[in-house]
Amino acid sequence: MAKSLSKFKAFIYYVLAESPVASLLGRMLWSPVPTWHGPFYASRNCRANTKSTLLFGLYELAERKLIQRHLPPDHDCVELGASMGVVSRCIARRLGPGRSLLMVEPAPDNFEVLQLNTKHVSFKELDVHLINRALSYASDVVHLDTSAGSLGGRVSEGDLGHSVAVESVRLDALVPEPPYSIVMDVEGAEFELMRHADLRGCCCLIVELHGDTDANQEFVRWVDSEGLRMVERKHQVWCFVR
């Protein structure tokens, strides 16, 4: 029975998020996209299928579920890779009044709509900060891929004609007074960015790891060595708490 239910859920997700039907529906949607929590502005690089997942509440669903279950409401939070602000709204609804939410998003198109989406009522009682920078410990400027459909702000291999130069910032310069939480989705650069950081003040880390690579396994071992234990994994999203 459980296996049949799982297959049914996978089929429904395919129809609403990945099928030609989803793509057609997404092309019919203008920005802002109607969602359960009010209108949501989508960037110019947003794929049609992504708009369909926004409409049906499926976008970054695993990450949002772990936030609802584990993110401490009484601690400040830093979101790395805020993109258009879908997860940001979920964090905002979870945090208590007066808490600080700092969102970092390097891609200019994403940052533009992030500014619009954070005007939603969910953020009204929070101390909100938006940073249009890229995380890096290697250089002062990072080149990001801005090709069509690229929402994640992936690092571009040189200037390929569709990249943009963005100033960088170190994580240590962003984190608030401990204890604090970190939510991050930085398109596969998690370990490279985090291994230089001091996580002693971090009480909760929710991170999307892209694929079961050796680097990701090394990242999990490193987080464990920093005193954070894994409490739940949902698909490619991991939650660690202290």
Are 92 and 167 within one domain?
Answer: yes
Q: Name the residue type at position 238.
A: W
The CATH number covering residue 142 comes to: 3.40.50.150
> pTM of the predicted model, to two decimals?
0.89
- As a whole number of angstroms, the distance between CA 84 and CA 81 comes to 9
Number of domains in the chain: 2
Are 50 and 137 within one domain?
Answer: no
Residue after which a domain boundary falls, among 55, 71, 87: 55
pLDDT, position 3: 57
Residues 133-191: tens digit of each pLDDT: 998 877 888 888 766 555 555 555 455 556 788 898 888 888 889 999 999 998 767 77
Residue after which a domain boundary falls, among 55, 75, 95: 55
Are 69 and 180 within one domain?
Answer: yes
Per-residue pLDDT of the chain (242 residues; tens, 9 = 90+): 555 657 777 888 878 888 888 898 888 888 899 888 888 999 888 889 999 999 999 999 999 999 999 999 999 999 999 999 999 999 999 999 999 999 999 999 899 999 999 998 889 999 999 999 998 877 888 888 766 555 555 555 455 556 788 898 888 888 889 999 999 998 767 777 787 788 889 999 999 987 777 878 888 899 999 999 999 999 899 999 99
pLDDT, position 61: 93
Are 105 and 213 within one domain?
Answer: yes
Are 118 and 38 within one domain?
Answer: no
- As a whole number of angstroms, the distance between CA 3 and CA 15 comes to 19
Tokens of 229: 């234990």
pLDDT, position 157: 47
pLDDT, position 240: 97
Tokens of 114: 């992030």
Domain range enclosing 27: 2-55
- As a whole number of angstroms, the distance between CA 36 and CA 13 comes to 17
Are 106 and 91 within one domain?
Answer: yes
pLDDT, position 11: 80
Please report how many Cα atoms fall inside a 13 Å half-sphere around the Cα of residue 201, on the Cβ side: 15
pLDDT, position 113: 94
pLDDT, position 161: 58
The residues facing 102 across adjacent strands are 78, 129
Are 91 and 211 within one domain?
Answer: yes
Are 39 and 139 within one domain?
Answer: no
Are 26 and 88 within one domain?
Answer: no
Are 84 and 198 within one domain?
Answer: yes
Are 29 and 123 within one domain?
Answer: no
pLDDT, position 5: 59
Are 128 and 231 within one domain?
Answer: yes
